[in-house]
Amino acid sequence: MLPDFEALVQDVFTALVKLNARVATAKELPPSARVRQHLVAEVVGAESFGEARASCALRPSRAGMVALEVARWVIAALKRGELLALEEVRGAWELADVEEKLSEVAGRRAALAAMRGRLDEGAAELVEEELDEEAEELEARRGELAAEAERGVRGMPSETSARAADALARAAARAEAAGGRAGRGGAGGDGGHELDELAAQADLLDMPGVRRLLALVGALKDEALAARRRRVPRATTELYGVEGGAELERLLPSELAGLRHPVLKRDFRRRFAERALLGYALRGDEREGRGPAVFLLDVSGSMAGEKVVWAKAMVLAMGEVARREGRRVTAFTFSSGAAPRRLDLTTRGRAFAVRPALDTEGLRGLVKAGVGGGTDYEAALRAALAVIAEGGDLRRADVVLVTDGECHVSEAFLDWAQGEKAARDTRCVGVLVDVSTHATESLTALCDEVVKVTDLSLAETRKVLRAF
């Protein structure tokens, strides 16, 4: 129906599933993408998009269902002639073809420049003149077709936004119903079976933000488990072979050379999509005997609102993954003016049990934790390192600091903390909740790795969830 229809569906999916997606302006895109840009802007600008996105964020299955429903609506509207006339659709295809030919001309021009020294100068000038004439004709035609495309966009009915809103609302309702039937996350709240049962208790279910918290936990937990399942050794200590994939930084030079050829470039793109490009295979030693996870949850006054909901969701999701791996999970809530509060999220027992049980009281305490006061990293980290020092079973622990970063720590404490981490083989991962005001300096100095919540695309989510 449109030359870039697949890209349109991908754009809608991306806008729904990612937390930091934005719609590109018409000036940022080639003229052939003008119709797609307009349709995506209409969908994202629809009144029902916010509600649909809240249901689909970080949930690829649900976002995919909604994106496909929107795609069906676009197809039906195009077939009925409600968006573009048949001539305008044909013009869109011709415009895409002209742009592809211009790209090929540019490729031939680059090849000519590379071979200039080995060609007869007169022949090279003749070829260059032919390329200039061809490019001039194509540019003129592209201008005409781009103007027609713009007129087609401006001629779309004014009720397109309302129709997009209706399509989104219907799609989101179907996806919500399908998600409930499929039991994604284990129960209706999507936080997982145990967490949903916990939230069903009246004193939690009626608390502001709990339903939102459980939805986020379900989405993040699914991504965390996917990240663990797909984990492979990638340490850069040894190059041991060649393997198929799509990691551009590890491709063989022979694969990259194909990008200079107009035909091979298409084959490169196909094999990139299929993850079949040849690249270097790397492996190395991985740390054994992973110890328990210790979470430090910032509950200072600056974490009020959406921040603390995101922070709790990250702790619960990462904690569940650690529990499934047989690791004990401990959390501390902290703010200035009071000692950090310890919450055991798994029942105490022997270290590295097959799968420790959830501690109901600890979970209730985390979900119900309020906010107030200032931020004190030093007391929280001292408490965490004291827990690690209690016994050999807590060595090689991972400390996860979830905060908005608005805190200052002294140089003396930084030196002490780094020494303690090294002595106990402990890593510190920082999750910066940068939903509104935030700071990074102290968190960066304390942690081995820091990931921002607003950067949590699927790839970034998996990055932080497999970093501990």
- pLDDT grade for 231, boundaries at 50, 70 and 90: very low
CB proximity list for 155: less than 8 A, separation 6 or greater:
none
Which stretch of 18-32, 117-131, 244-258, 378-392 has the lowest confidence by average pLDDT?
378-392
- What is the predicted pLDDT for the residue at 134? 92
Query: What pTM was computed for the model?
Result: 0.46
- What is the predicted pLDDT for the residue at 221? 57
Q: Write out the two tokens for 403.
A: 């905060």
- pLDDT grade for 94, boundaries at 50, 70 and 90: very high
> How many percent of the chain have pLDDT more than 70?
76
- What is the predicted pLDDT for the residue at 439? 63
- pLDDT grade for 46, boundaries at 50, 70 and 90: confident
C-alpha to C-alpha distance for 407 and 375, rounded to whole angstroms: 6
- pLDDT grade for 437, boundaries at 50, 70 and 90: low
pLDDT at 274 over 60: yes
413's enclosing H/E stretch is: helix 411-423
Q: Write out the two tokens for 188.
A: 């209706």
Higher pLDDT, 53 or 331: 331
Show the DSSP H helices in 155-209 as ranges: 160-182, 193-199, 202-205
C-alpha to C-alpha distance for 278 and 266, rounded to whole angstroms: 16
- What is the predicted pLDDT for the residue at 468? 54
Q: Delimit the domains of the chain by residue range.
A: 5-83+157-174, 86-154, 238-283, 293-465
Strand, coil or helix: 56: helix
Half-sphere exposure of 167 (CA within 13 A, CB side): 27
CATH value of 293-465 in 3.40.50.410, 1.10.1200.10, 3.20.20.70, 3.40.47.10: 3.40.50.410
